[in-house]
Amino acid sequence: GLRQGFSVYDSSDQKALVKACIRKLNLENTADAAPDKILNLISMAKNFHQNPAELVDSNNPLARHISAVAEAYERALLDNNAADFDNLILKTLDLLRNHEDVRAHFNRRFTHILVDEYQDTNRAQFLLLQLLAGQAGHVTAVGDQDQSIYRWRGADITNILQFETVFQGAAVVPLEQNYRSTQRILDAANSLISRNRGKRRARLWSELGDGEAPFLHTAMDERGEAEFVADEIMHLTGADQGFAHNHIAILFRTRAQSRVIEETLSLRGIPFQVVGLTGFYQRMEIKDVIASLKALANPADIVSLARAAAAPRRGIGPKSLEKLEAMIAETGADSDSILDRPEAKEAPAKLRAFLELMRALRQKAPPACPLPAFLNAALRDSGYWKYLDALEAAESEARKENVNELVSVAVEMERLGEPLDLDSFLGRISLQSDVDALREDADTVKLMTLHSAKGLEFPAVFITGAEEGLLPHYSALGEPEEIEEERRLCYVGATRAKQRLYFTCCRLRLLFGSTRCNPPSRFLHDIGEARLQTLEASHRYEDEPGFLDEGDPGISSNEQCAAAMFAPDQGALYKCGDFVEHRIWGRGCVVSFKDGEICVAFDHGQGIKRMAVEYAPIRKV
């Protein structure tokens, strides 16, 4: 149905079109009809060659709207003589399927087809390849099943696993020699990925020598982890080691993990660059929340108030804000005290309601309420959590993780006994934000997610957060296919390293606003004790790592990991990793339990408490 000269819509064009469709269907005030979520589902459906409604659980409120919006969106594309990127493939598929003469023409024209990164293709791309190849099927695909890490955006690993079945008579040429990494790094990677299902798995080998075995460091908490990484970078970049800063990469599973690492590197004067991401304090959601807090702390700050009014959108436009500024200039009031003046009655109703909301939040601010609790209340009452919930699922989760990590700053301040008023919190953040903007050196340590690292290589690589719930990510736990993808992701990270590979994990981790007690990652057990060497912060290597021995920082799978790390009594009422609720201190995680004495790490900066379990006012949760 496209005419000659059609337009190709990018993501911003698509979003504008979906918004228009939502308005036409009178769904603009429906929270679950969020443009980002709908667009993501439409794209995934096209990639899988399915109807968008088939990807939504019937109990999901979005199921009521997705089909209608998707149909309106496709009609609007045709009306506008436009196609999105997914439609470029789907329209080509329809053309080749329905017009034999066109298909024959392209079969003759493309006698041999080469596809790179074949493991990342989706269902629609696979069908297109079949039609283009025709009966002759002269297809060369270059790919690695063990580097398929984009399932979340539509990649289908079965395309490469079934290649020989689909293209009968295909010859398989294994490319197993690795020209990047030393052998002990490859041995660890081979052992890790061997736990995944699959056939014809390459076993990588190298002529670059044995090299160093990968290092493992277990820190007490996320600060200790970051300090260890900084210490080791200082050691590597010393005169006797000869590494430059740009020879080093720090990898993590989630964006929120970068916050503590960025702060520590800044304090130590180590130049760094956050690759593929905005620095933590420069991220949109963090700047939104900081602007709201600045406006709460300083009612005269109209610039911050304007940003707070726009995120989430409240129907307060530039003219309303200009009118507020004019009233403030005439009366000498600020955005809080103006409410007590007669002129406030002239303000638009939505603006007045917003100013009333800000006043109510100021009344809850410290010292009336502990800082961490106040931040959570402000995020809820301002509607910011609901605003983030309405974003596309992956983006929503990542941004909420970052905001929760900002709350972690307050929890950490509380734990360190720092002043907990709003001004002190903003002061600490502003210092760190200034540092973010200064790091533009070429010779910098690179910080990036494991996904962003694919295709890159570095002489030294740190994989941080090697814990259950982070790597593998908590969203993958209990799903075998998702766990295999997480294992492939860890494998990709490990094979970025040329000479030095480090894994780090924590006994306790303050992340997303709460203290967690996660067992070490099962992937460390997959690699195996014999292929890892433990490394203390002082660079002292242990002769016998023994990290599976009772009482040592243990590495095993699931419950065995926790038992090895903390060695609780067999048959005990509580075990390491249990969550408990204390009558006074609230929720916490059991760190150890032995001889009737329980040790619990409590949330919100309460710290670690040791108690006689017989008398402690706690219960399992």
- Quote the number of domains for the chain: 5
> Could you give the residue ranges of the DSSP H alpha helices within 451-527?
480-494, 522-527
Element (H, E) at 497: strand 497-506
Using one digit for the tens of pLDDT, what is the confidence trace for 35-62? 877 888 888 888 776 766 666 655 565 6
> Are residues 295 and 408 part of one domain?
yes
Rounded CA-CA distance 485/562 in Å is 23
Provide CB contacts within 8 A for 517, sequence distance 6+. 507, 508, 562, 576, 577, 589, 590, 591, 601
Using one digit for the tens of pLDDT, what is the confidence trace for 403-431? 888 888 888 787 777 777 888 887 777 65
Q: Which tokens sit at 457? A: 């290589």
Report, as an integer, the average pLDDT of 296-325: 82
Is 20 part of any domain? yes
Q: Which tokens sit at 406? A: 């900002």
552, pLDDT greater than 50: no
> Could you give the residue ranges of the DSSP H alpha helices within 382-479?
384-389, 393-415, 422-438
Is 562 part of any domain? no
> Are residues 419 and 302 part of one domain?
yes
Is 419 part of any domain? yes
Map 347-399 to HEC letters.
CCHHHHHHHHHHHHHHHHCCCCCCHHHHHHHHHHHCCHHHHHHCCCHHHHHHH
> Are residues 307 and 272 part of one domain?
no
> Are residues 385 and 517 part of one domain?
no
Q: Phi/psi at 135 (nearest 5 deg)?
A: -70, -35
Map 95-108 to HEC letters.
HHHHCHHHHHHHHH
> Are residues 425 and 292 part of one domain?
yes
Provide CB contacts within 8 A for 512, sequence distance 6+. 256, 401, 404, 405, 407, 408
Higher-scoring residue by pLDDT: 448, 537: 448
The alpha-carbon radius of gyration of the chain (Å, integer) is 28
CATH of the domain at 160: 3.40.50.300
Q: Show which of 406, 431, 456 is a domain's final residue.
A: 431
Q: Which tokens sit at 77? A: 């594309």
Asked whether the bond before 367 is cis by omega within 30 degrees of 0, the reply is: yes
Closest CA to 457 of 248, 274, 272: 248
Q: Show which of 88, 118, 152 is a domain's final residue.
A: 88
> Are residues 421 and 287 part of one domain?
yes
Is 72 part of any domain? yes
Rounded CA-CA distance 533/543 in Å is 9
Using one digit for the tens of pLDDT, what is the confidence trace for 461-497? 999 999 988 999 888 877 888 899 999 999 999 999 9
Total-model pTM: 0.63
- Predicted confidence band of residue 352 (pLDDT cuts 50, 70, 90): confident
Using one digit for the tens of pLDDT, what is the confidence trace for 182-201? 999 999 999 999 999 876 67
Q: Phi/psi at 214 (nearest 5 deg)?
A: -60, 145
Q: How far is CA 94 from CA 51, 67, 78, 220, in A?
A: 16, 21, 15, 58
Is 39 part of any domain? yes
- Predicted confidence band of residue 506 (pLDDT cuts 50, 70, 90): very high
Which residues constitute the domain of residue 226? 183-279+439-534
> Are residues 307 and 405 part of one domain?
yes
Q: Read out DSSP for 230-261?
A: HHHHHHHTSTTT---GGGEEEEESSGGGHHHH
> Are residues 341 and 416 part of one domain?
yes
Chain centroid offset of residue 572 CA: 36
Report, as an integer, the average pLDDT of 162-174: 87
> Are residues 287 and 213 part of one domain?
no
Rounded CA-CA distance 173/99 in Å is 35
Residue 554: what pLDDT? 35
| Pair 518, 561: CB distance under 8 Å | no
> Are residues 405 and 291 part of one domain?
yes
Rounded CA-CA distance 146/254 in Å is 21
Residue 548: what pLDDT? 34
Using one digit for the tens of pLDDT, what is the confidence trace for 571-584? 447 777 777 877 66
Q: Show which of 58, 88, 118 is a domain's final residue.
A: 88
Q: Residue 528 carries which side chain, given as an amino acid letter?
A: G
- Predicted confidence band of residue 232 (pLDDT cuts 50, 70, 90): very high
Mark residue 561 as left, alpha or beta (left: phi above 0; alpha: psi -120 to 50; beta: remaining).
Answer: alpha
Is 524 part of any domain? yes
> Are residues 359 and 291 part of one domain?
yes
| Pair 523, 562: CB distance under 8 Å | no
Residue 550: what pLDDT? 32
Rounded CA-CA distance 320/347 in Å is 7
> Are residues 285 and 274 part of one domain?
no
| Pair 537, 486: CB distance under 8 Å | no
